[in-house]
Amino acid sequence: MGKIDGSKYIVASITLNLILIINLCVSGKWKLSWSSQAAIEAETVAAISCSGHGRAFLDGLVLDGKQPICECNSCYQGSDCSNFIPGCAANVDGYVPFLLVQHAASSAVVVAGWHRMSYKFNDHTFISQELERLIRKVHDIVGNAVTDNRFIVFGAGSTQILSAAVYALSADNASSPARVLTSNPYYPLYKMQTELFASVNFEYQGDTSLWKNSSDAGTNMIEFVTSPNNPDGQLNKAVLHGPYAKAIYDRAYYWPHFTPIPAPADEDVMMFTLSKLTGHAGSRFGWAVIKDEAVFQRMTKHIGVTSIGVSRDGQLRALKLLKVVLEREGKEIFEFGYETMKTRWEKLVKALSLSKRFSLQDIEPQFCTFFQKLRQLSPAYAWLKCEREEEKDCYAVHKAANIIGHEGSVFGAEDRYIRLSMIGTQDEYDLLIDRLNKLVSEEVGAKTMRRMQPSCSLLKISKKNFTTCNIEILRQYYLPSYISISIS
């Protein structure tokens, strides 16, 4: 009886070992050597719980000498970001991570200590050829820009690119400085940057309309065309034409999650940025697609002399992220992005639907060659107008309601306009909608709100799920505003 059939155990033991080993070999973890310390470090920080209202970062402040602290979304506080700050202003300045969380594995990157230490790549440029190849591929599958026989230059976001472009399109020692022009409403950085440089070769001279009929005056005119436009999302086209008119097309938002793509853009100078493609503003990576070699050379010179190219670490990050974008030919990220933005826009429109006090920009729906269908609106920003004659300061009106927008005057428009971001974190967006609902309910009255035709959706409040109709009303009257609600 002391004897037992060992063969079973041999089999059992071998099987168990095999399972373990196979499991490890398949997951590949058995291979790791020098990278495992960094990997464990990163996963440990990623595992720090910040209640879904914040995040701990690898380079976050280390106060207790142990691990980085939680960095909370605006309006949340506490060591784990679980405390909502009542009466806190909804200030939308975060970003939607258009790369889904389930891409954690494929979007992560391990940087070796010896990675790209040199100033130059092997081809003596400051540019990763592999990244350039992927950029062309992304434009190709999205169909938003012609890149064949075009030059590509990298910059620290589109921010550095635009100054390089203005430099490249203006002549050295010209008889008179080139006129840098914009069309209201316009992205304010064009003006700020041009004025900061205070160059003898170019000068900010305001709105294109002033120069429409003088485009052959012999002085170069550099027109910024933002398409889709920031703030109002319109697919703008150049206003100025003729031998002295040159356009810089800012195509930052020309992606299927923000706008229909009627056709591939094919302008002489086009700018794009990772921040509006994947949401990675912090990497400071942008690029320009350029037709003319001389312009390309001057832009490359500018970026070389001002920063010796773009951080190779940022380039590696961009490479990794573009690989994720290219999975399933971009279908996944752009569908997710489009659905997210469309839903946000619909909720905004609904929140303002009963209001006569506020109105939103009107954007013409168009056929999108990427989705092969007529697209609904999903702009990155709401360009909101205060309609009441006496309410000339729309920023103040919203500030009083604890909503922080951007004044219209910043964009060269009237202050009866404000820009509200649709690309903030979910917390920021939810709070914005919450506050807008309050504002509108004050205008139209609670009764009217209650009479509203309900729209049904599934609500999740903490772990408790239940179905209800019209979450705005629910949030307005039956829920304390500090409970965050997410729709699924």
- Segment 391 to 420, residues that bind its own copies, using CB under 8 A: none
In the region spanning residues 177 to 196, those forming contacts with its own copies, defined by CB under 8 A, are: 189, 192-193, 196
Q: Which stretch binds its own copies (CB under 8 A): 65-73, 216-224, 264-272, 435-443?
A: 65-73
Return the residue of 32, 210, 349, 483 that touches its own copies, per CB under 8 A. Answer: 32
Q: How far is residue 88's CA from residue 200's CA, in Å, rounded to a whole number? A: 45
Task: With residue 461 as reference, give the H or E element that holds it.
Answer: strand 456-461
| Contact (CB, 8 A) for 173 and 301 | no
In the region spanning residues 131 to 160, those forming contacts with its own copies, defined by CB under 8 A, are: 131, 133, 156-157, 159-160
Q: How far is residue 144's CA from residue 262's CA, in Å, rounded to a whole number? A: 8
Q: How far is residue 202's CA from residue 207's CA, in Å, rounded to a whole number? A: 15
Cβ closest to its own copies, residue 189 vs residue 444: 189
Contact call for residue 62 and its own copies (CB under 8 A): yes
Q: Using DSSP, state whether 77 is helix, strand or coil.
A: strand
Q: Which stretch binds its own copies (CB under 8 A): 206-214, 301-309, 375-383, 410-418?
A: 301-309
**Tokens of residue 428, six digits:** 């920021």
Q: Which stretch binds its own copies (CB under 8 A): 21-29, 216-224, 264-272, 469-477?
A: 21-29
Task: With residue 443 as reference, give the H or E element that holds it.
Answer: helix 426-444
In the region spanning residues 100 to 129, those forming contacts with its own copies, defined by CB under 8 A, are: 101, 103-122, 128-129
Q: Is 20 left (phi over 0), alpha (psi -120 to 50) or beta?
A: alpha
Give the nearest distance from C-beta 435 to its own copies in angstroms: 21
In the region spanning residues 35 to 54, those forming contacts with its own copies, defined by CB under 8 A, are: 35-44, 46
Give the nearest distance from C-beta 238 to its own copies in angstroms: 25
Binding mask 307-346 for its own copies (x = CB under 8 A): xxxxxxxxxxx-xxx--x----------------------
265 secondary structure, DSSP code: B
Give the nearest distance from C-beta 353 to its own copies in angstroms: 31
237 secondary structure, DSSP code: -
In the region spanning residues 81 to 100, those forming contacts with its own copies, defined by CB under 8 A, are: 93-95, 97, 99
Q: Which stretch binds its own copies (CB under 8 A): 206-214, 282-290, 360-368, 430-438?
A: 282-290
Give the nearest distance from C-beta 56 to its own copies in angstroms: 11
Selection from 264, 250, 258, 229 nearest residue 369 by Cα: 264
Q: How far is residue 426's CA from residue 54's CA, in Å, rounded to a whole number? A: 11
**Would you give the end-to-end CA distance of the chain in angstroms?**
61
Ranges of beta strands (E only) in 336-473 are 358-359, 367-368, 373-374, 381-386, 403-404, 406-407, 417-421, 456-461, 464-469
Cβ closest to its own copies, residue 112 vs residue 488: 112
Return the residue of 282, 329, 374, 486 that touches its own copies, per CB under 8 A. Answer: 282
Contact call for residue 277 and its own copies (CB under 8 A): no
* Residue whose entry in the numeric block shows the structure tokens 């002033």: 210
Return the residue of 21, 446, 469, 483 that touches its own copies, per CB under 8 A. Answer: 21
Q: Which stretch binds its own copies (CB under 8 A): 12-20, 345-353, 449-457, 471-479?
A: 12-20
**Tokens of residue 359, six digits:** 């109105």
Cβ closest to its own copies, residue 128 vs residue 229: 128
Cβ closest to its own copies, residue 20 vs residue 469: 20
| Contact (CB, 8 A) for 296 and 274 | no
Instruction: State the angle between helix axes of 157-169 and 293-307 in degrees (0 to 180), rounded to the nearest 10.
Output: 120
Q: How many residues lie near its own copies (CB under 8 A)?
A: 120
Cβ closest to its own copies, residue 131 vs residue 394: 131
| Contact (CB, 8 A) for 379 and 233 | yes
**Tokens of residue 53, six digits:** 């209202």
Return the residue of 84, 147, 150, 163 that touches its own copies, per CB under 8 A. Answer: 163
Give the nearest distance from C-beta 133 to its own copies in angstroms: 8
**Tokens of residue 226, six digits:** 């933002």
Give the residues across from 152 on adjacent strands. Answer: 289
